[in-house]
Amino acid sequence: MSDVMNWIDEQVKSNDIILFMKGTPDAPMCGFSGQVVQILDYLNVPYAGVNVLSSDELRNAIKVYSDWPTIPQLYVKGEFIGGCDIVREMFQKGELQALLDEKGIVAGAEQD
């Protein structure tokens, strides 16, 4: 694996919830990324945000890493959960909350 792939892998494995997005959680640069931020904020769970616009190499590598052509991409406990559509659909059906419960992620906890 290239350095950037290794870096992605480390981030995915070391953060309980990590969102690869366009922009930052405070200032999303794309409506789809913004929607996932809103859902995570609503659920009040701690997560790391990685801005793929900071590097073309990163932006391309994350698509290869997950075999997924678009940003945002949400990972929970090392597992790729999906992009905006899947996250929204899971949230609306209560499945995202169930998944986070199952993975032992506590709402309101501080990001370490």
Partner 1 sequence: MAMDAKQIEHLIREALPDAEIEIRDLAGDGDHYAATVVSRAFVGKTRVQQHQLVYQALKGAMGGELHALALQTSAPKD
State the residues that interact with partner 1 by CB under 8 A.
Answer: 32, 63, 67-70, 80-86, 89-90
Q: Closest distance between partner 1 and the C-beta of residue 96, in Å?
A: 11
The nearer residue to partner 1, 45 or 71, going by C-beta atoms, is 71
Q: Closest distance between partner 1 and the C-beta of residue 63, in Å?
A: 7
The nearer residue to partner 1, 37 or 84, going by C-beta atoms, is 84
Between the two ends of the chain, the Cα-to-Cα distance in Å is 27
Q: Count Cβ neighbours within 10 Å for each residue of 38-74 and write b for 16 or more, e otherwise.
A: ebbeebebbbbbbbbeeeeebbebbbebbebeebbbb
Q: Closest distance between partner 1 and the C-beta of residue 109, in Å?
A: 26
